[in-house]
Amino acid sequence: MAFLKLVNLEQRAGDKFLLRNINLEIEKGELFVIIGPTGSGKTTLLRLIDLLDHPYSGDIYIDGLNITSVKGDRIDLRRKMAIVFQKPVVFNGTVFENIAYPLKMRGIRSREIAPRVKSLLDTIGLSGYGKRKARTLSGGEAQRVALARAVIADPELLLLDEPTANLDPHSVKLIEELVIKFNKSRGVTVVMATHDMHQGQRLAGRAGVLMQGELVQVGSPASIFQSPDSARVAGFVGMQNVYRGRIVANESGLARVQIDGSVIDVVSELEVGKAVDVFVRPEDIVLSLSGSISSARNNLKGVITAIHITGPLSMVIVDCGIVLEVLVTIKSVEEMGLRMGLNIFCSFKAAAVKVLPVK
C-alpha cells in the first residue's frame, strides 16, 4: 500500500481549476519531485497535502487514512508532516530556539532538546550558531535552519516547496545534499516541488510533471527527460527538435511523416493521415559534409545558420526545411570547418525518432 495516495484530487479558485484529476501514489521513504513551471499548481498541491487548504474534490490518503475526511482537530495529522517554503521562514529568536520550537510545542524536556538541536546544527553545517539571531542569517543559512526545524521532530512526510529557488549555487548544493541525507538517514518520505528540471534529475527517484494543474507524466527522471509523453512535456524539459507533422505513408511499420515541406522516415504503426508529434534528440543527429557516408534513412541537406558553443560541446543549428539542432563536440566543429552559411547534411535513423499521436 502506498504511503501517500492522491485520488481524483481537484482544487478550484472560483470557476477556475487550479488542479484537475491528480492521481498519484508515493511509497514510504521515497524522494519524489514534482517538476513544473511557475503557476502550474505545485504550491497548491503541497498545501492540500499539508492540510493547509481543503480540496474542491478528491481524497488524500496517508498510510491508508483518508485525511481529507477527518473532522475536527487535525493537529496530530499535521504533526506527521512538515513543510518548508520557498522563502526561508525563521522566527524572531535565536537559531537554537528556531530549531527547537517543534520539540518545545510537543512538550519535550529541555535536557532532551539541547543534544538534538546540537546534532542537527552539526549536520547542517552551522555548529556554534545556536546563540545567533536567526534573522541575521543569510538566505542559505536561514533555509538550512528552516529545514532542520522541519525534521527535528522526525516527521513521516517532508514537503518542500521550491526550497532553493532564491539561493546561490553553493547554498543550493548544500540544501540538496541535506534533503538527500535526511531522506536516506531518517527514512522520511520527501515530496519536493521545483521548476528546475536539472534539480529534479539530480534528486528524484521518481518525478511527476505538473503543467496547467494536471499531472501529465510520472516516471523516472530518465524516462521523462529522454522519452516525454507529449510535445508540451518535451518543450518544458528542454528537448530540442520537436515538430508537428502528419503520416503520409506506412509500410510494415516504416512510416513517412511530412513536416511542413520536409518528409522524414520514422518507425511507427500509426495509420496514414494521423497527426503526430515527433522528437529527435540533438545527439542522435550526425553531421557530414557529404550525404553519401551515412546509412541512416534520414539524410537531409541544409545550411548552418548558427553555432552556439557551451563548454566542450557546440549546438549547430541547421535549416533543412525544418530547423534541426545538432549537438557535436568543439573538436568536430574545428575538424569539419563548420561555420555559418556552410552546406551540410544531417543524418539520423528512423528508429531515433520518437513518434506520438496528437491528443
Domains of the chain listed by start with CATH number: 4-236 (3.40.50.300), 242-282+301-357 (no CATH)
pLDDT surpasses 90 at 261: no
Vertex 262 angle, CA 259 and 264, to 5°: 80
> Cβ distance 302 to 321 under 8 Å?
yes
Cα torsion 324, 325, 329, 335 to 10°: value is: 40
Q: How confident is the model at residue 228 (pLDDT cuts 50, 70, 90)?
A: confident
Strand pairing of 31-35 and 206-211? parallel
Would you call 250 helix, strand, or coil by DSSP? Answer: strand
CA 210 to chain centroid, in Å, comes to 9
Q: How confident is the model at residue 351, as a pLDDT? A: 92
Angle between helices 95-105 and 139-151 (to 10 degrees): 20
Q: In degrees rounded to 5, what are phi and psi of residue 76?
A: -65, -40
Q: How confident is the model at residue 70 (pLDDT cuts 50, 70, 90)?
A: confident
Mean pLDDT in residue range 163-180: 94
- The residues with which 280 forms a beta bridge, in sequence order, are 353
Rounded alpha-carbon distances, angstroms, from residue 182 to 31, 90, 175, 221, 297: 10, 20, 10, 21, 50
